[in-house]
Structure 1
Amino acid sequence: MLERMPHSAKESQSVSPEPALHTLSNRIGDPIILTISMGFIALFIGSAIYDTTQLTAFIGRGFGWTAEYMGSFFQLMLLATFFIAIGVALSRAGQAKIGNLEKPEISTFRWLSMVMCTLLAGGGVFFAAGEPIYHFVVTPPAFDVESGTAEAVAPALAQSFMHWGFLAWAVLGSLTAIVLAYAHYNKGKPLQPRTLLYPVFGEKILTSWVGSVVDALCVIAIVAGTVGPIGFLATQMSYGLHVLFGLSNGFTTQLCILMLLATVYIVSAMTGIHKGIQVLSRFNVFLALAIGAVIFLFGPTQFLINVYLQSLGEYTSSFFEMATMTSETAPDWWMQWWTVFFFAWFIGYAPLMAIFVARISRGRTIREMITAVAVLAPIATTVWFTLIGGSGIYFELTGVVDLATSLENFSFDVATLAVAQALPGGTWMAAAVLLLTTIFVATTGDSMSYSIAVVGAGHDAPHFLIRAFWGGAMAIMAGILLYMGEGQIGVLQQFIVITATPVSFILLPSLWAGPKAAFAMAREQNLVK
């Protein structure tokens, strides 16, 4: 039985956030979603064990096809989502409050911490050092400057801003979050990806097996996208501990790291949004602020200030050129492994991220939610990339580090550690950055375990054992793939690009349903006629 929220604002405020869990579906989740999702995990692992080469080739072909034929569609979708979302935020409908609450459930700092930590996650920390330096030593196709020179610094950071900036954040939690919030809190519809299609297909999509398949596709995308960072974190931490403290860099160390990480994010997910997830996010933000302050005060301060302003200007002036780059004007391999890869990754994450954003934003205005997700968070991300990546470029320019060869081979773990060691504090700073990366990945693990459980249950208070189950399933999958070789994690990471194709069509109705839901909320609250 799906949890139904009451229609009136008064009733909505009186509903207990912990519904009684009496039915089988409430205890274990939708059996179709569970079967398809777990079937995917078993099939992927089984195929990897049976014939790794064939699996890699199959996913590689799908990865290439998706990048070639769907890349432009992904780019247009992100552009449309961002500008439509900004339009909604600036309209009178932006004043409407989400969830029929007068006051937010979660304080502003805690709310912003959860948004930043969950959506930026380990990927942003993992790529913050390596990506800007890569674009510095290999000039992006949108620019015509000599690589490795002072003129290449601003374009390198601007390209990184494009991949992790306004477009990426907007698709993760703006229009889709509005559609889900209105349908769930105002109309009593389930908090599931299938609800994004409700404006098109009506009640049928909510009760049929097709809706369960839609949800399962989104769960598979999030599993592929989350297991990747979990596995990469284990390899990065293992490598870092080996370099810094001489520990063995092998599967045993990776497994221990994985078990510790899984314990942290599973416990966090089990305790829920108002406890573990909030605490972990706040700690992460404080640690990031401390690391950022040390870099800014004791690092190449003047260089970072100048570079940030130049890069932000380059990002703004070259925004559309970078956002609309295609294989006609850029090498196929570059589009596949950079712009299309990242945009597809964010699309794959979008439905479940939107569920999480809608859940934690109850009581906020639509304007607040869109501003936080699509404007403030991207700006904070550009600052973070400048502090870490800009410092790395400075060290590369001055000869403190030499990462050109490592980055041309996409060895981002080497880049992150080398830059961290060159920062003020040396080994201690490197250890702090590794800890920060770990907690960032943990915040992704706990929020996605919670969100997958929400999808299965259909309401926003899934049983804590369901949350633990999904967190454990992703950790076990990462462990098995690591045992088979680090390359298997990379293959799984490519798979999220393939899943982005069906997920993109699930997101598509939000381009018009999002504004429609926003104005419907505003009318119910007598903000517009």
Structure 2
Amino acid sequence: MARTPDHYGTGTNKQRIFGDPWVFGISAGFILLFVGLSILDVDLVSQLVGGGFAWTAKYLGSYFQLLLLLTFVIAIAVAISPAGGAVMGDLDTPEMSTFRWVAIIMCTLLAGGGVFFAAGEPVYHFIAQTPPAFDTETGTVEAIRGALAQSFMHWGFLAWAVLGGLTSLVLVHAHYVKGQPLQPRTLLYPVFGDRVMRGAFGGVVDAVCVISVVAGTVGPIGFLATQVAFGGSVLFGLPDGYGTQLAVLVVLGGIYVTSAITGIHRGIQMLSRFNVYLALAIGAVILVFGPTLFLVDAYTQGMGAYLGNFLAMATMTTQTAPDWWMKWWTVFFFAWFIGYGPLMALFVARISRGRTVREMILAVCVAAPVATTVWFTLLGGSGIFYQLNGSIDLAEALTNFRFDVATLTVAQALPLGSVMAAAILLLTTIFVATTGDSMSYTISMVATGHDRPETGVRAFWGIALAVMAAILLYMGAGQISALQQFIVVTAIPVSLVLLPSLWTGPKAAYAMARAQGLVR
């Protein structure tokens, strides 16, 4: 008999409503401390974060890369093993349809980061700096395959795998079979036992994971405000200033807070479905009316180069690549995904009841990354095409890492120009909103320890993310960037939370399979 989500939870009713005091105190304290120090001395905060960022990238970059690579390989091995047929969550049938389930996964995990970089990153690798694994000249036809392949590496199989490939198995088994809370600390239970489930130790583990997600989520929220403000200025003549950015944050916050309050089966699901339909419509217009043959050829070459150079790119180090390149590209992205790992796994576990282990792993580790590579080809490949034929020139913007300019410039060069630009801005907004609502919901699950957190808790965290973005934007986009760099530092302790799943994930899958009589 399946247990209902309300069965789970830890502590008293007061703790369930207001959350674990350790989690809330440390997480909220970090937000206040970062904002307060930024107000007092912006340069000091940027210097401290930048120093920690550089040290982490230099000394732990290879460790992060190996963690992602092993997670992907082991997850695929579990999927094709006999344990892959085990049903997760002690539920006979899935809670939602396959389309809705995949839509939520895609929108939550790809979200604003992938959409924000989809147009600009491939073009950057094409015109500004050839990726280290390739030796082609920038700006040439030969450089197309490497530019797309490197983008696929950053946003492909490894990135998605660490967001729930193994950790979701541990959490599903621990929560729905053993009755343990949906919190990051549960990932460490097989190592530390009851010591990590109560008191300060578990609270600190959860709080660090929450802080990492706050750092990673406020970035896309803040950068979306600058992107939409810039787009509004170009398309509609709106002022490109803080007032417009603040208005965007208010609207965005209203959308995702409302979505988080209404829950997974209403707001979050509806927002994700709308975004998938819009993305499919935009993709169809680009593919049919854009440079169709070029995009098909570019995807074929890029995917071939990605698969052919997979291990070389996945294990690239500063011995074979420039320090600055590794720091600002591969290590930054991989650390960002690690920082999101525990809370994304919680969310995937929450929505995957009734699915088989194989379905979940293939959806997260294979299908979603392939869809991401297609999206990067549609936007980034189109950008390369228009750059190659001289319709646009993004060299200066991308050299200065102005990816907001890149997205709008590529969008305007597409068929139906301004209409497509407005549609892509709307798509980006909703993508970021799906990150905001899912992370507000998941942070609330971490705070309360059960999968139906109180409405007020969800609203608090959603509003807190928007307010933090507004304050940091007021001090300049540089502080948003500094906070985003901080996720690389927080990836150090978060990676230790993820590490045991390399062996506890397969154990959880086989435990579920044995209980269901699939293996002995």
TM-score w.r.t. length of structure 1:
0.97
What letter corresponds to residue 91 of structure 1 in structure 2? S
Which deviates more from structure 2 when the two are superposed, residues 38-47 or residues 21-30?
A: 21-30
Q: Does 1:126 align with 2:116?
A: yes
Unpaired runs of at least 5, structure 2: none
Q: Does the alignment pair 1:33 with 2:56?
A: no
Kept in 2: contact 1:118–1:443 (CA 8 A):
yes
For 1:213-228, what aligned pairs fall within 5 Å after superposition?
Answer: 213-228=204-219
Is residue 2:110 matched to residue 1:108? Answer: no
Write the distance in 2 (CA, Å) between the matches of 1:523 and 1:29: 35
Name 2:238's counterpart in structure 1.
Answer: 247
Tell me which residue corresponds to 2:347.
356
Matched residue type, 2:198 = T
1:446-465 aligned within 5 A = 446-465=437-456
Superposed displacement of residue 106, structure 1? 1.0
Distance 1:255 1:17, change over 3 A: farther
The aligned runs of 1:75-114 (5 Å cut-off) are 75-114=65-104
Deviations 1:204-255 (A, max 9, x none): 1111310100000000000000000000000000000001110000000000
Deviation at 1:14, TM superposition (A): 5.6
1:56 corresponds in structure 2 to 46
User: Match for residue 266 of structure 2?
Assistant: 275
Secondary structure of 1:248's partner?
coil
Matched, 1:398 2:389: yes
| Secondary structure of the structure 2 residue equivalent to 1:42 | helix
CA offsets 1:380-416 (integer angstroms, 9 cap, x no match): 0000000000000000000000001110110100100
| 1:98-154 deviation line (CA, Å, top 9, x unaligned) | 111110001100000000000000110000000000000121111100000000001
C-alpha offsets along residues 330-351 of structure 1, whole Å, 9 cap, x if unaligned? 1111001000000000000000
* Mapped partners of 1:41, 1:21: distance in 2: 25
Q: Give 2:153's aligned amino acid.
A: M
What residue identity is the alignment partner of 2:381? G
Q: Is the 8 A contact 1:21 1:463 kept in 2?
A: no
Q: Superposed, which structure 2 residues align to 1:333-482 within 5 Å?
A: 333-482=324-473
Secondary structure of the residue aligned to 2:162 is helix
- Paired residues of 2:6 and 2:450 also in contact (CA < 8 A): no
Corresponding residue for residue 144 of structure 2: 153
Aligned counterpart for 1:171 among listed residues 154, 158, 162: 162
Superposed, 1:180-195 pairs within 5 Å as 180-195=171-186
Q: How far, CA to CA, are the matches of 2:71 and 2:204 in structure 1?
A: 24
2-structure distance, mates of 1:174, 1:106: 20
Question: 2:35 matched to 1:45?
Answer: yes
1:19 deviates by 8.0
How large is the RMSD of aligned CA atoms in angstroms? 1.2
| Partner SS state of residue 119, structure 2 | helix
Change (3 A) 1:19 1:519: closer
Distance (Å, rounded) in 2 between the aligned partners of 1:360 and 1:436? 23
Matches within 5 A, 1:225-236: 225-236=216-227
Whether the aligned pair in 2 keeps the contact of 1:19 and 1:461 (CA below 8 Å) is: no
Give the count of matched residue pairs.
519
- One-letter amino acid of the counterpart of residue 270, structure 1: I
Which residue of 295, 298, 301 corresponds with 2:289? 298
- List alignment gaps of at least 5 residues for structure 1: 1-9
- Work out the CA distance in 1 between the residues paired with 2:7 and 2:455: 14
Amino acid at match of 2:197: L
Alignment partners' CA distance in 1, 2:46 and 2:323:
19
Superposed displacement of residue 450, structure 1? 0.3
Is contact 1:195–1:206 with CA below 8 Å preserved after alignment?
yes
Task: Quote the residue 1:323 is aligned against.
Answer: 314
Paired with 1:20 and 1:495, the residues of 2 have a C-alpha distance of: 31
Instruction: Report the secondary structure of 1:121's partner residue.
Output: helix
Q: 1:20: Cα distance to partner?
A: 12
SS in 1 for 2:163: helix
2:13 counterpart of 1:23: yes
| Residues 173 and 373, structure 1, Cα contact 8 Å, conserved in 2 | yes
Aligned partner letter, 1:166 = F
1:23, 1:132 → 2: CA distance?
50
The structure-2 alpha-carbon separation of the partners of 1:527 and 1:180, relative to structure 1 and needing over 3 Å to count, comes to same
Following TM superposition, by how much is the alpha carbon of 1:13 offset from its aligned partner in structure 2, in angstroms?
A: 4.3
The percentage of aligned residue pairs carrying the same residue is 66
1:435 Cα offset (Å): 0.2
1:100 maps to a residue whose letter is D
Alignment check: 8 A CA contact 2:9 2:180 kept:
no
1:205 to 184, 193, 196: 196
The AA in structure 1 aligned to 2:364 is V
Distance 2:3 2:415 in 1: 50
Check whether the contact 1:115–1:373 (CA below 8 A) recurs between aligned residues. yes
Is the 8 Å Cα contact of residues 21 and 27 (structure 1) preserved in structure 2? no
1:17 Cα deviation from its structure 2 partner: 7.4
* Counterpart-to-counterpart distance in 2, 1:29 and 1:283: 32
Partners of 1:75 and 1:22 lie apart in 2 by 41
Divergent runs of 4+, >6 A: 17-22
Asked if residue 508 in structure 1 is aligned to residue 492 in structure 2, the reply is no
Determine if contact 1:18/1:461 at 8 Å carries over to the other structure.
Answer: no
Letter in 2 for 1:89: A
Equivalent in the alignment of 1:69: 59
- Map Cα deviations across residues 399-455 of structure 1 (whole Å, 9 max, x no partner): 000001110110100100000000011001000000000000000000000000000
Question: Against the structure 1 CA distance between its residues 504 and 18, is the aligned structure 2 distance closer, same or farther, given a 3 Å change threshold?
Answer: closer
Letter in 1 for 2:100: R
Deviation (angstroms), 1:509: 0.3
Residue 397 to residue 15, structure 1, CA distance change in 2 (3 Å): closer
Query: C-alpha offsets along residues 347-374 of structure 1, whole Å, 9 cap, x if unaligned?
Result: 0000000000000000000000000000
**C-alpha distance in 1, partners of 2:328/2:112?**
18
CA contact (8 A) 2:86 2:512 kept: yes
Determine if contact 2:9/2:448 at 8 Å carries over to the other structure.
no
